Structure 1
Amino acid sequence: MPICTVQLLSLDSSVDTFLTALRNSSLKPIIIARVVRWIITPTSLSREPLLSQSPPWDLLLILPDAIKSLPADLRSLVRSSWSIQAGVPSKLLTSFESKNSKLLHPPPNTLPPLTGSLSKPQKAESTQSLELTDHLQSWIQGGKSPKGAISMLNLLAFRPGLKEQYLKYGKAFSESVGSRRGGVAKLVGKIVPETCSDGCLEWKEFALAHYPSLVHFADMLGSKDYQQANKTWRVPSLKDTFILCTTELDLCEEPERSRL
């Protein structure tokens, strides 16, 4: 199983300056994405290093190797970083670039329709249990949130003996409650625990989930069918988790076209 590096970067440079340097480097990321905002913050694991950046992290990189440190020319542009490594199934990495391109740039009129849950959504006071709030819905439907496809970085730690329960949630997500809104777990992996840069050994898995838009994501969170699966299987099985919303960038594009 290939080992990949999941890395969050806070930059001393502009994003465009870093992207230019990355184009000229030997690194070939599987994913490079601009961090948008936290959806769920960690409650105990790696909390201090992950939440130390204000505003949040600038970039997410997922690299196809076990990389301990960026090359010196890139490292000089980075103020702070956090990383972890994970084994990713080979079948997910095979032809990933072309599969991912189809997700990010779907043909016209092929996006799944919204299910109507936003007309009368279920809501909560906090997003920490992956529920819709008034604040999140207002931001998603406002003018400053990203309008295209999004990628949600998830890190997972499980309560003892409850991993199988989470797998039931994953099955429901992939077969119904997520997939009907275009949700796809396009990368998943088992954490190599000793590689967490803050020494935390309890993170077990990561996932990068695709949604056609933030509105599709909100349509899922506000729905009865999703929340039944979420509250039955996902929430009780997790010791800790975080979800970070990102928008993917294309290194082949010119810098000015890579901006949100």
Structure 2
Amino acid sequence: MPLPPPVEYAVAVERYLAASGLGAASLRVYRIALHTWAWALADRTAPTGPERRRARPPVLPLALLDHPDAAARLLAGATRRADGTDPRTLNRELSTLRAAVAWWRAQGWIRTDPTTGLRPHAVPATAPDPLTPEQLQALFDLRAPLREQTLWRLLHESGAPVETVLALDADALDLPGRRTRPPAPPLRWRTGTARLLPLLLAGRTTGPLFLTDRRAPAGTPAADRCPHTGRARLSYRRAAELLTARTAALAPGGWTLRRLRPAPGAASGTAPGTASV
């Protein structure tokens, strides 16, 4: 016997996710995105940073999507999100909402599509400017957890793409040589990172270098789970959220991970608080 149509938006979200066939990690990302749009429908500003993951979204009727001002509310919410949110992230969240709305309409639960007026946000064609020496000094002076301090230092001193650094495993590091071992991509770092890496590893010799705070969910691939702690590999999305939240007091909207790369022509590893070697 088929289930009756859901009354609440949150229940409709769970029905959509249950039918999506997504993996555990993707389900978590989609759920956060769809819950974020609930704040827009309620005419409220969504939490940001770590609070976004923990906040309970407003309880809303699914029928609110058929209300004449639903499209205007979503547009206003997207405009608020655009201030301080990477355009790629916002566009992914828009796509997630569109897919869910299309599925709900196919089930006959709502009649209209309030997302038709939402347009993808332009993605900058050029990379953002690297942080200045003064901005780097302010960043490295922050009271932040060891994991974030190490990640930020390594990104700046190595000049490597964020995805490459987050994919590193503990056994790929040559700590005395301050470099990676093959077959890992060839990276080098300097004093700041060299001082922090042994503290971050704390005896770990295998598994992902950068870990989440919580244990890995069921179904996480072995390559992305630490055999010592059971925690998962830190994702790009979470690493970006952490930096934005920590730097919100330093600049409107915070800073992005890609701004940690060294400036063109500057030697990697010459960040404030590090010594050249």
- Larger helix percent: 2
Q: Relative contact order: is structure 1 or structure 2 higher (C-alpha 8 Å, sep ≥ 6)?
A: 1
Please tell me whether Structure 1 or Structure 2 has the larger radius of gyration of its CA atoms. Answer: 2
Q: What range describes the TM-score normalised by the shorter chain of this pair?
A: under 0.3
Provide the TM-score with structure 1 as the length reference.
0.26
